[in-house]
Structure 1
Amino acid sequence: MKLLRRLLIAIIALVAIAYAGVVGYMYVNQRALQYAATGPVIPLADTALSGAEDIALPSGDGVIHGWYQAPRPGLPVIVYYKGNSKSFGEEHERYEAFVAAGYGFIAFDYRGFPASPGQITEDNILADAITAYDWAAAKGDPLVIWGRSIGSGPATYVASQRDAKALLLETPFLSAVGVAAERYPYLPVYWVMQDQFRSDVWIKDVAEPVFVGHGTADTTIDVSNGERLYALAPNPYELWIVPGVGHSDLWAAGIWDKARPFFESVMTP
C-alpha cells in the first residue's frame, strides 16, 4: 500500500509539474500565440487607390502607419480596424470598393504589426485605435466604424468612447479571453491572459446602431460569439448570419452589400 501511495503521489506531482509547465509556457509566450503580426507591407502605389495618402500618426511611444482618403460630400469615412494577421494593406481591395462607392476610409497597422513598429499589447492597440479615430474625426467628416475579427475589439472600445454614426462588427468575439477559454478549457486563461479585449463589457456603452455579421462555419471565432455580442448591444440594427461561411469569407459573401444600406440609413436625417 505504501508503494502504491508513493507511486500515486509521484504521478500526481508529475502531472502538476507538467500542467504548471504548460501554463507557464502559455503565459510567457501568450502574445506570440495570440497575434499573427507578420507579412509584407504593400506600397500604396501598388494599389488602385490613386486618391489616398500615406499617413504616419504619433501614438503612445511610437507611430502608426496607414492610408487615408476623404469621402465624397455627404458620405462618411470608414474607420477600419483590421484583423489579426498580416498588414492592413492586404485588404486594399476592400478600401478600393469603399472609395469607388464614394466613401472615405482610414486603415492602419497597430503598433507591432508589419507597417508600424512597436510592441503589441491590448493597451497599445486600443490607444492606436483611438489615435486613428481622433485624427480622422478632426477632418470634420462623419465617421462610421468597421471592426473585423480581432479588430472588433478596438472597434467596440472606440464606439464606447466616441460618438460615431455606426458600428459594424465582422466576425466579432464576445471577448478574446472567452474565445481562448473555449479553445483551451483546461487552462486558467481568465487568470493569466493579459490581452482579454472585453467587448462584452464595452458593448454596453455603445450608443451607435450596431450591425454584426458572422458565418456559421467560422472555426476561428464561433458564430455564437457574434450572436451573444449582438444581444448585448443597446441599439441593435441587424444580425446577419450566413450559413456555411467561414471566418475570412464574409467579404466574398457580400458583407459590403449589407454594409452600404446600413451606413446609408444612419446618414439619413
Structure 2
Amino acid sequence: MFEENPVTAKDGTQVMTWYFEGDKDKPLILYFHGNTGLMARFAPAITKLTNEGYSVAMMEYRGFGNTKGKISQDVIFSDAVAFYDYYKNKTDNDKIIFYGYSFGCAFAMGLTQYRDPDGIILTAPFSSLYQEVKEYPVPLAFLVLKDKYPSDEYIKNIKCPILLIHGNKDMLIHHSHSQRLFDLAPVKEKQVVFVDGINHHDIFFKEHNLPVILDWLEQFN
C-alpha cells in the first residue's frame, strides 16, 4: 500500500507523491510516469517492484490529480528536485535510482542536471521532445516547440549506470531514440534492450520491461 505525502515545491505548490517503504538495503526508486494518466494508472505495474522489496516513490505532475498548476519543463524539473530532496531526507536507503517511462523519462533525465542518481532506468524514452515532434506527422510543429526536454544533451553528463528498454514495434516513439541515448551516454556501465514485437503501451503495462529491470537492479543490492 502506498502512502500519500504532499511535497512542497519551490513556489509553495503542494505536489502529491506516493511512497512505499521497502527494504533499506535495496535502492529507493524514484518513478516518473507517462503523460496520459494519474499515478494510480501506473501503480499496478510499479507494485511488482515493491513486491520484490524495493522502496518506490512516485510524483504527480502539475495539472494531474491533486497537484494544481500547469506543466512546463522548468516547473517539472524544479518539482522533481523538491521530490528528490524530500525522499533523500525521509528515507535511509543508501542508493537512489531514477526510473522513467515514456514522457517521464524526460523528467528523470532533467533531474540528473540537479541531482546525481546511482542509476537510471528509461523505458521507451524519446531522445528529445524536439526530435520526437519532428518525426510526428504535424508539419513544422517543432518550429514552435517551447519545451524541448533535451535528454540527448543531459545524458552526456551522467556518471552512473543506465538501462534503456524499448519495444521494437513502438509506433509512438521509435526505438532509435533509445539507441541514440545509448550511443551518447559517456559511461561504460550502460545497456540497451530492444524487446521484439512489443509496442509502446505493452512494454510497460504488460511488464515486458520488468524482468530486464529486476536483473539490472541486482547490481545495487
Instruction: Decide: shared fold, TM above 0.5.
Output: yes
Inter-partner Cα distance in structure 1 for 2:113 and 2:216: 19
- How do residues 178-189 of structure 1 correspond to structure 2 at under 5 angstroms? 178-184=131-137, 186-187=139-140, 189=142
Structure 2 residues not aligned, in runs of 5+: none
Would you say 1:71 and 2:22 are equivalent positions? yes
Would you say 1:264 and 2:218 are equivalent positions? yes
Question: Percent identity between the aligned chains?
Answer: 26
Inter-partner Cα distance in structure 1 for 2:33 and 2:179: 20
SS in 2 for 1:161: coil
Inter-partner Cα distance in structure 2 for 1:80 and 1:234: 23
* 1:173 aligned partner: 126
Inter-partner Cα distance in structure 1 for 2:139 and 2:50: 46
- How do residues 207-222 of structure 1 correspond to structure 2 at under 5 angstroms? 207-222=159-174
Q: Over the residues paired in the alignment, what is the CA RMSD in angstroms?
A: 1.6
Inter-partner Cα distance in structure 1 for 2:33 and 2:102: 7
What letter corresponds to residue 212 of structure 2 in structure 1? K
Q: Once the 2 structures are TM-superposed, how far is the Cα of residue 78 of structure 1 from its aligned partner?
A: 0.8
Given that residues 148 and 170 in structure 1 are in contact (C-alpha distance below 8 angstroms), is that contact kept between their aligned partners in structure 2?
Answer: yes
* 2:150 aligned partner: 198
Give 1:241's match in structure 2, choosing from 194, 208, 213: 194
Would you say 1:111 and 2:62 are equivalent positions? yes
- How do residues 28-47 of structure 1 correspond to structure 2 at under 5 angstroms? none
Structure 1 residues not aligned, in runs of 5+: 1-48
Inter-partner Cα distance in structure 1 for 2:209 and 2:139: 35
Would you say 1:153 and 2:153 are equivalent positions? no
Q: Once the 2 structures are TM-superposed, how far is the Cα of residue 155 of structure 1 from its aligned partner?
A: 0.6
Inter-partner Cα distance in structure 2 for 1:184 and 1:78: 35
Inter-partner Cα distance in structure 2 for 1:140 and 1:65: 21
Where relative contact order (Cα < 8 A, 6+ residues apart) is larger, the structure is 2
Q: Once the 2 structures are TM-superposed, how far is the Cα of residue 261 of structure 1 from its aligned partner?
A: 2.0
What letter corresponds to residue 21 of structure 2 in structure 1? A
Query: What do residues 93-144 of structure 1 show as CA deviations (whole Å, max 9, x unaligned)?
Result: 1232121110001012111122311111111111111211111111231211
Q: Once the 2 structures are TM-superposed, how far is the Cα of residue 253 of structure 1 from its aligned partner?
A: 4.8
What letter corresponds to residue 119 of structure 1 in structure 2? K
Q: Once the 2 structures are TM-superposed, how far is the Cα of residue 76 of structure 1 from its aligned partner?
A: 1.1
Q: Once the 2 structures are TM-superposed, how far is the Cα of residue 67 of structure 1 from its aligned partner?
A: 0.6
Given that residues 87 and 115 in structure 1 are in contact (C-alpha distance below 8 angstroms), is that contact kept between their aligned partners in structure 2?
Answer: no
Would you say 1:85 and 2:45 are equivalent positions? no
* 1:228 aligned partner: 180
Given that residues 3 and 19 in structure 2 are in contact (C-alpha distance below 8 angstroms), is that contact kept between their aligned partners in structure 1?
Answer: yes
Structure having the higher helix fraction is: 1
Given that residues 45 and 207 in structure 2 are in contact (C-alpha distance below 8 angstroms), is that contact kept between their aligned partners in structure 1?
Answer: no
* 1:60 aligned partner: 10
Normalised by the length of structure 2, the TM-score is 0.92
Greater CA radius of gyration, 1 or 2? Answer: 1
What letter corresponds to residue 149 of structure 2 in structure 1? F
SS in 1 for 2:112: helix
